[in-house]
């Protein structure tokens, strides 16, 4: 039997391109197309597809509807495979998609639409219970992990990172102390330790604070 597929994409050109590709496949039956999260969930209830292909960002909020749909379907329809299409190679999106498990989940960049074999292979893979992550996303994840492993921030304790995060938010020592339920003296001690662990050389105190914050923002962006 052909694979039953629901396509959710609010960009007309992308939706038309994927639709034509799917309709040309003898082993794929495109049973519904839609352009927002509510319509997608309704189509799944109505059509009971084998696979959902969804944009990562759609109405109503244009943020992470594809990820949220995948998370919901994991509970309501665990047998449905979900392939998320995205313009973003940020590995955090892929990690969010796989947080509850990798079975029947795929994350591909939209540029793969121009490579029909790759897109169709991913559709068939998730239908069979497998998982596919775009190679560029994997590269980005490896690079991110490598940077984190060599980051001076890796030497900070969780509490020291909390203090540094407060500094990055522009809080005074007193405000950091209040937020973290510490004494101002304890915050000062944490900051001195942070300065000693980070590569700040012998810069003046104000410059060290700014540089520490910039290091934090650069590694957590």
Same domain, yes or no: 16 and 123 = yes
Range of the domain at 195: 152-220
Last residue of a domain, one of 112, 143, 174: 143
Last residue of a domain, one of 108, 126, 143: 143
| Residue 8 φ/ψ, nearest 5 degrees | -120, 110
- Computed over every residue of the chain, the mean pLDDT equals 88
Same domain, yes or no: 25 and 134 = yes
For residue 11, pLDDT beyond 80 = yes
Last residue of a domain, one of 86, 108, 143: 143
Structural domains counted in the chain: 2
CATH number of the domain bearing residue 185: 1.10.10.10
Q: Tell me what pLDDT residue 144 has.
A: 65
Measured distance CA(132)–CA(106) in Å, rounded: 4
Same domain, yes or no: 209 and 106 = no
CATH number of the domain bearing residue 126: 3.40.50.2300
pLDDT-above-70 percentage for the chain: 90
pTM above 0.75? no
Measured distance CA(159)–CA(153) in Å, rounded: 12
Other residues' Cβ atoms within 10 Å of the Cβ of residue 86: 22
Same domain, yes or no: 111 and 87 = yes
Same domain, yes or no: 122 and 167 = no
- In tens, the pLDDT along 160-207 reads 999 998 888 778 899 999 999 999 999 999 999 998 888 776 656 656
In the structure encoding, which two tokens stand for residue 79, read together? 């047998």
Q: Tell me what pLDDT residue 139 has.
A: 78
Measured distance CA(13)–CA(47) in Å, rounded: 24
Same domain, yes or no: 43 and 80 = yes
- In tens, the pLDDT along 90-149 reads 778 888 888 888 889 999 999 888 888 999 999 999 999 998 888 888 777 766 666 666
Same domain, yes or no: 82 and 160 = no
Share of the chain residues as helix, strand and coil, in percent rounded to the nearest 5: 55, 15, 30
């Amino acid at each position: 039997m052909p694979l039953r597929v629901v396509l959710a994409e609010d960009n007309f050109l992308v939706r038309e391109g994927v639709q034509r590709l799917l309709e040309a496949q003898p082993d794929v039956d495109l049973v519904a197309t839609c352009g927002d999260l509510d319509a997608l969930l309704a189509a799944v209830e109505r059509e009971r597809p084998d696979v959902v292909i969804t944009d990562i960002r759609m109405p109503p909020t244009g943020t992470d509807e594809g990820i949220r749909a995948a998370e919901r379907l994991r509970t309501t329809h665990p047998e449905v495979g979900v392939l998320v299409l995205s313009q973003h190679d940020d590995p955090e999106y892929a990690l969010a998609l796989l947080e509850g498990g990798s079975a029947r989940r795929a994350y591909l960049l939209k540029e793969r639409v121009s490579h029909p074999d790759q897109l169709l292979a991913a559709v068939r893979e998730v239908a069979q219970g497998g998982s596919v992550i775009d190679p560029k996303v994997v590269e980005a994840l490896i690079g991110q992990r490598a940077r984190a492993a060599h980051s001076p921030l890796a030497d900070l304790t969780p509490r020291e990172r909390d203090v540094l995060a407060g500094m990055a938010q522009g809080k005074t020592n007193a405000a950091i102390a209040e937020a973290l339920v510490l004494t101002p003296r304890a915050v000062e001690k944490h900051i001195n330790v942070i300065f000693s662990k980070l590569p700040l050389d012998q810069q003046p105190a104000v410059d060290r604070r700014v540089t520490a914050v910039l290091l934090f923002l650069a590694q957590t962006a």
